A and B are shown apart, each in its own frame.
Chain A
């Protein structure tokens, strides 16, 4: 098994690593780069806990090989807040108590941020379908949906 050299950008920073061909981007983030904010809930693209953006597009990092990050721009949960300044989605999740155990939360933050960048004024139904790829077992989604609606309103300046 020979390693593959990869040059990529993660949260705006140039990053280089050597990975095995079979390693997923999630494996690389967690095990090689120490970026454990992305979680492995299923490794099959069904739970969304490992959500990242690749060139701005929402992706399950467990469904992408580490080698495929070559030349791309990856965005992870670690890059969402700017220092101590939370993104509105993060702040509204806190304000709405929209988490219980919190293991799905990074995935929801990344996914909801990607939604609001694409659609600043989503309906409740649009939010529910966009986030249908992110499983939460604790909350019944109620407070998460409200948090995303609040964040959207704030970002629109309402």
Chain B
């Protein structure tokens, strides 16, 4: 579960009920390669500038594609006249909504990549051109005449929910409420999760705190803008090069939107310059394909940073109410939360994930959460690292922190007392299997950071967080080469070093050294369908497929050795990279190495390979606990992060460097979200800070070193015990930092980001209130 929340992109999949695999404790006790820290296979190309990212591809005769975007946040598109642009010398194609036929399977995606009846946000694509140069393409955009009828707009989630708000879509009738509304609104759906009786629970509480919170929309902030090159052949055979987290998904959606067979479109995933969920869908790819089809030449489109901010998929902003009751001795008796998320102009705000994960850290008898998915005149949201969870957990962990102070209990002790553990019924339904929240809390409490003295104007915050993790459809190949080396093909783009982990797992299973194995991300024509790199699934799912493919190859190599020795295949075992005769034949023959078996494969039956394809289940949740020291300047309201420690359960760290990297990166993104990053809209409904100068992501001088503690509670659903680690790291920081700042400033911070003006105002308001 917990894949891309983009409902339109994500067909409902049949869930498998039991884990695909089981933890192999015996194997784990004797790891030789797993847990080591070798250099990654793509590292050399990346430090020398040779690695090819989305915008680095050139196809012969390629044209430049540019997109015309709506300057209005909400407007009817009465007409589009592109005749002058088409007549301009050097223009080879112009496309508009008329070049795409309606598509029931991907209606919202289609509407988002090229506006239809209305432009729904500033930056919504309305037309595109392909021309021989950027200068000509720019000129052509200016010649396209769009006649707009401007409509009132709404960008705030609470305003969008009010009965008199401008309504974006005539066909959105709120789901999940009774009776079914008779009129359309901006509320796509209400969902509810939980169990027990919260009123009875609150009646048992000695202390109850109820607060409202708001968080701003943030952007994933990957440094590489979206880019692609599309080439539709004269016979319709098409190729697409693009930076994406999921090229199989891109192929499926693009083929559908263009009305072509999937087999006619071959998608190659370039190296990807960051994604964090934001590259799990399509924006420019179908446009480039449609332009190429019309022009008969390859077309490259690369977004500018301004376009990335205005027209790719940021995350939701939120408005939330949380109420928690606790006894004097620290037992949480009830938890209740309402989470209203806007996800831009189309359905799919991750409100349900927010509501499901809000109380996931706690084993509660009485818990209830409500989620509202709301549309506004903002760009269609996309997934962002643990989509929906950081905000709701910020609200819950803030109230938990305040309750701990109220009853005079250490905040880690309060969490330990109520922590979810194996067998606990989760706040979103299922029972937890083996999981490591308690272990992260204990490790955090024991960490020297937690007891270090604080200076003036400093405050320490802690918070825990959770992510579901995901398995999903996976297909990997492994080839034993004639020289004894091994090549792995996976279908999951490598964003953070996963190829290194794949090589480690194959080396471990085959009993050969890491440098004999190479992993590549294969294109869509080379493998069966692979789900996207999302849900922290790659090291878990593709890794397990690599392990199984290795085991298959081992079985085959044993068979070949048996053939060479003329003994039964069952009488051969595989040990440390060698086939050895066993049982009655033990010691009869010299062991045969993988390289020796590979060298003679042509004489024993041909090439040796392994493959594995499955729908992985049993991903195993990951919990984390963060500690942060903040310092607040009472004069300016500026917050500095003085010290930061991440403690998280990785199940088993295959390549610890990249596990630490995920922890540190998640924390840094969370720090930005907590302190500075926000989509700022003017009254005109236009984004006011669509650039890195004004959308202030953390830079090196903003941050301290980020300490990490890898906790390893093996995932029972993976042979090596792996849990996904990519997303959990961004869940606790918002709350941990807010708790630290609240302690330092002496006032509870209920709105993010905690930018200097907001912190200063909170301090001043508290002073006024105290007087």
Binding site for B on A (CB under 8 A): 1, 20, 22, 30, 34-44, 46-47, 49, 76-78, 80-81, 86, 90-91, 93-97, 99-106, 109, 125, 127-129, 131-146
Identify which of A40, A127, A129, A135 contacts B692 (C-beta below 8 A).
A135
Q: Provided the pairs A103-B274, A144-B700, A145-B705 are in contact, do residues A43 and B305 lie with their beta carbons within 8 angstroms?
A: yes
Residues of chain B within 8 A (CB-CB) of A86 are 44, 47-48
Contact sample, A vs B, 17 pairs, CB 8 Å cutoff? A34-B58, A37-B48, A41-B223, A86-B44, A86-B47, A86-B48, A100-B665, A102-B47, A127-B700, A128-B701, A129-B701, A131-B699, A132-B699, A137-B665, A139-B668, A141-B703, A142-B706
Interface centre among B43, B271, B657, B667 (most CB of A within 10 A): B43
Contact of A39 among B273, B496, B657 (CB under 8 A): B273
Q: How far is the CA of A137 from the CA of B225 in the complex (A)?
A: 13
CB of A148 to closest CB in B, whole Å = 10
Asked if A100 meets B658 with Cβ closer than 8 Å, knowing A44-B691, A132-B701, the reply is yes
* Chain B residues within an 8 Å CB radius of A34: 58
- B121 beta carbon closer than 8 Å to chain A: no
A136 to B496, CA, bound (A): 13
Residue from the list B37, B49, B275, B658 in contact with A36, Cβ < 8 A:
B49
Counting CB contacts under 8 A, is B365 at the interface? no
- Nearest residue, chain B, Cβ from A79: B49
Interface contact A38-B39, CB-CB below 8 Å: no
Beyond A80-B48, A132-B700, A141-B668, 7 extra complex contacts between A and B, CB < 8 Å: A30-B55, A47-B692, A101-B224, A102-B51, A135-B221, A135-B699, A138-B274
B315 on interface, CB distance cutoff 8 Å: no
Which residue in chain A gives the minimum CB-CB distance to B55?
Answer: A40
Whether B657 lies near A131 (C-beta < 8 A) is no
- Report the Cα distance A125→B704, complex, angstroms: 9
Task: Report whether over half of chain B's contact residues are helix, strand or loop; otherwise say mixed.
Answer: loop
Interface residue? B42 (CB, 8 A): yes
User: Are A47 and B701 in touch, CB under 8 angstroms?
Assistant: no
Q: Which residues of B contact A131 (CB under 8 A)?
A: 699-701
| Cβ distance A87 to chain B, nearest Cβ, rounded Å | 9
Which residue from A43, A105, A139 sits with its C-beta under 8 Å from B664? A139
Distance A96 CA – B302 CA, assembled complex (angstroms): 31
Q: A36-B56, A97-B658 are in contact. Are A104 and B700 (CB under 8 A)?
A: no
* Chain B residues within 8 Å of A101, by CB: 222-224, 271-275, 495-496
Instruction: With CB as the reference atom, state the residue of chain A lying closest to B666.
Output: A140
Task: Name A131's closest neighbour in chain B (CB-CB).
Answer: B700
Q: Is B661 an interface residue (CB 8 A)?
A: yes
Q: How far is it, in angstroms, between the C-alpha of A86 and the C-alpha of B602 when the chains are bound?
A: 39
- Beyond A36-B56, A44-B691, whether A93 also contacts B47 by CB under 8 A is yes
- List, in ascending order, chain A residues with CB within 8 A of B221's CB: 135, 137
B263 at the interface (CB under 8 A from A): no
Best-surrounded residue of A90, A95, A102, A145 (most CB of chain B within 10 A): A102
Question: Smallest Cβ distance from A86 to chain B, in angstroms?
Answer: 7
- Chain B positions 338 through 362: 1 when the CB is less than 8 Å from some CB of chain A, otherwise 0: 0000000000000000000000000
B669 in the interface (beta carbon within 8 A): yes
A105 to B705 CA separation, bound complex (whole angstroms): 19
Given A43-B305, A97-B37, A137 and B697 contact (CB-CB distance below 8 Å): yes
The 4 closest A-B pairs by CB, nearest first: A37-B49, A103-B273, A140-B668, A102-B46
CB distance from A3 to the nearest CB of B (A): 12
CB <8 Å contact, B39 and A94: yes
Contact with A along B187-213 (1 / 0, CB 8 A): 000000000000000000000000000
Asked if B305 contacts A140 (CB within 8 A), the reply is: no
A138 touches B496 (CB 8 A): yes
Residue of A nearest to B52 (CB): A36
How far apart sit A118 and B692, CA to CA, in the bound complex (Å)? 27
A137 touches B37 (CB 8 A): no
Contacts of A36 in B (CB 8 A): 49, 52-53, 55-56
Nearest-CB residue, chain B, relative to A84 = B44
Residues of B within 8 A of A133 (CB): 699
Hey, which chain A residues are within 8 Å of B106, CB to CB? none
- In chain B, positions 682-739 with a C-beta closer than 8 Å to chain A are 691-693, 697-703, 705-706
Docked complex Cα distance between A140 and B669 (Å): 8
Q: Determine if B14 is an interface residue (Cβ-Cβ < 8 Å).
A: no
A-side contacts of B699, CB under 8 Å? 131-135, 141
A47 touches B43 (CB 8 A): no
Q: Which of B48, B661, B700, B706 contacts A81 (CB 8 A)?
A: B48
A-B contact count (CB 8 A): 188
Contacts of B275 in A (CB 8 A): 101
Chain A residue at minimum C-beta to C-beta distance from B50: A37
Q: Which residues of B contact A37 (CB under 8 A)?
A: 48-50
- Take A103-B224, A138-B274, A142-B706 as given contacts and tell me if A46 and B700 are in contact as well, using a CB distance cutoff of 8 Å: no
Is A102 touching B691 in the complex (CB atoms < 8 A)? no
Determine if A46 and B691 form an interchain contact, defined as CB atoms under 8 angstroms apart.
yes
Q: Return the chain B residue nearest A146 by Cβ.
A: B705
A93 CB → nearest B CB, Å: 5
A91 to B699, CA, bound (A): 23
| Complex-state Cα separation, A144 to B304, whole angstroms | 26
With A47-B692, A139-B664, A142-B705: A128-B48 Cβ-Cβ less than 8 Å: no
Question: Closest residue of chain A to B668, judged by CB?
Answer: A140
Q: A101-B272, A103-B273 are in contact. Are A42 and B50 (CB under 8 A)?
A: no
A41 CA / B691 CA spacing, docked (Å): 10
A104:B48 contact, CB within 8 angstroms: no
A100 near B496 with CB under 8 A, answer: yes
Residue of A nearest to B44 (CB): A94
Pairwise interchain contact A90-B48, C-beta atoms closer than 8 A: yes
Nearest neighbor of A126 in chain B, beta-carbon distance: B701
Q: When chains A and B are docked, how far (Å) is the Cα of A19 from the Cα of B739?
A: 54
B700 and A134 form a contact (CB under 8 A): yes
Measured CA separation A36–B58 after assembly (Å):
10
| Cα–Cα, bound, A137→B660 (Å) | 15
Task: Tell me, yes or no, whether B497 is within 8 Å of chain A by CB.
Answer: yes
Contacts of B658 in A (CB 8 A): 97, 100
Q: How far is the CA of A133 from the CA of B697 in the complex (A)?
A: 11
> Taking the nearest CB of chain B, how far is it from the CB of A129, in angstroms?
5
Q: Is A44 a contact partner of B47 (Cβ separation < 8 A)?
A: no
Interface residue ranges of B598-645 to A (CB < 8 Å) = none
**Please, which residues of chain A bring their CB within 8 A of the CB of B276?**
137
The listed residue (B660, B693, B698) touching A44 by CB distance below 8 A is: B693
Q: Which residues of B contact A109 (CB under 8 A)?
A: 47, 49
Max chain A Cβ within 10 angstroms of own Cβ: one of B46, B225, B275, B665: B46
* A residues in contact with B222, CB < 8 Å: 101, 103, 137
Residues of A within 8 A of B331 (CB): none
Most-contacted residue by chain B among A38, A90, A94, A140 (CB, 10 A): A140
CB-based nearest B residue for A89: B47
Tell me the nearest residue of chain A to B493, going by C-beta.
A101
B445: CB under 8 A from chain A? no
Chain A hits for B305, CB < 8 A: 41-44, 47
Chain B residues closer than 8 Å to A128, beta-carbon distance: 700-701, 703
- In the complex, chain A residues whose CB is within 8 Å of the CB of B53: 36, 39, 103
Is B274 a contact partner of A99 (Cβ separation < 8 A)?
no
Which chain B positions have C-beta within 8 A of A96?
A: 657
Bitwise, B649-661 to A at CB < 8 A (1) or not (0) is 0000001011011
Q: Once the chains are docked, how many angstroms separate the CA of A15 from the CA of B505?
A: 46
Residues of B within 8 A of A145 (CB): 700, 705
Q: B46 contacts A105, CB within 8 Å?
A: yes
CB distance from B499 to the nearest CB of A (A): 12
Asked whether A41 and B225 contact (CB < 8 A) given A101-B274, A127-B700, A135-B699, the answer is yes
Query: Closest CB of chain A to B771's CB: distance in Å?
Result: 39
Interface centre among B53, B220, B665 (most CB of A within 10 A): B665
User: Please, which residues of chain A bring their CB within 8 A of the CB of B700?
Assistant: 127-129, 131-132, 134, 136, 141, 144-145
A44 vs B698: C-alpha distance when bound (angstroms): 17
B726 to chain A, nearest CB (A): 10
